[in-house]
Amino acid sequence: MWQRWLWTIGLAAGTLAAQEKVIPLYEGPAPGSEDWTHTERESVSNLWNTRIVFNVSRPTLTWFAPDPSQANGTAVIICPGGAFFALSIDSEGHDVARWLAARGVSAFVLKYRLVKCETDDPTREIMTRGPLDQVVAPVVKLALADGLAAIRHVRQHAAEYKVHPRRIGIMGFSAGGTVATSVAYNYDATSRPDFVAPIYLAYHWVPREKGVPADAPPLFILAATDDPLRLAPHSVELYQDWTRAGHAAELHLYERGGHGFGMRKQNLPSDRWIERFADWLAMHGWMKPAGKP
């Protein structure tokens, strides 16, 4: 009996692994950072008490494919946060992707380019690098390019991923929310997201020279009022800019939740934020099977 149980567990693990595919975002070095030679690394012992990825120089997408019988044709590109020094790859990346894939959404976790770290602990190094605005500004532009390239890639390979080319969105957390919002401001016809979901974003880092686009996609915006980084007003400002321009947006502000909660459980109402995101997707019809393009 126990042999059969072990075989079943092994088969399930193998099936899960088969559903997760890592895809290089570019052929060869990423444009704009061709001379980068540092190597991507991971850490599980840090101030954030979670697994992080840092020194990303070769951007990738990790595809979490839904069961074909449940796939609804919607795709979400997920940008984890980490102040552009690291990526909180589980609670703001893979865990989100698995939750969405279990409900029929094709989820893609984006590893975008980051500041080069000089130490083994980006969570401590952030506090020693001086004003972050100047440090991250050059990398924000590269991460924006990665976000745009990710949408183009998924759209160009929509048939392969079994998604509808007009049901491709992008979401992000903290710095990843900055990436997602930067995409919402700076796309072209090939990289326009169909929806955008910034979660506790840092709005002041978003390049906004072009203003809110005339055909701007709908936004789902979420944060916590007690964010210790005081980023909740950033979400309010984004909501006001979007609605002032006449575009659709939904804003959720939890009283408590802090910053960087992602899929972590804190026994707070904010633990169920992703259900509100799914409600919003359903309201737009994106949780129902898509018709043919």
Residues 25-73 pLDDT 10s: 999 999 999 999 999 999 999 999 999 999 999 999 999 999 999 999 9
Say if residues 136 and 159 touch (Cβ distance below 8 Å).
Answer: no
* 91-141 pLDDT per residue, tens: 999 999 999 999 999 999 999 999 999 999 999 999 999 899 999 999 999
**Helix 132-156 to helix 175-186 angle, to the nearest 10 degrees?**
60
Cα angle value 60/61/67 (rounded, 5°): 155
pLDDT band at 291 (very low <50, low <70, confident <90, very high): confident
- Whole-number Å distance between alpha carbons of 293 and 277: 24
The residue assigned the tokens 């880092």 is 205
pLDDT of res. 290: 87
pLDDT band at 5 (very low <50, low <70, confident <90, very high): very low
* 38-49 pLDDT per residue, tens: 999 999 999 999
Please state the rounded mean pLDDT for residues 74-90. 98
Would the CA dihedral through 242, 243, 245, 246 be positive or negative?
positive
pLDDT band at 214 (very low <50, low <70, confident <90, very high): very high
Please state the rounded mean pLDDT for residues 218-226. 98
Alpha carbon separation from 255 to 5, 56, 270 (Å, rounded): 45, 34, 9
pLDDT of res. 14: 38
Q: What is the DSSP string of 222-236?
A: EEETT-TT--HHHHH
pLDDT of res. 20: 87
pLDDT of res. 19: 65
- Whole-number Å distance between alpha carbons of 60 and 92: 16
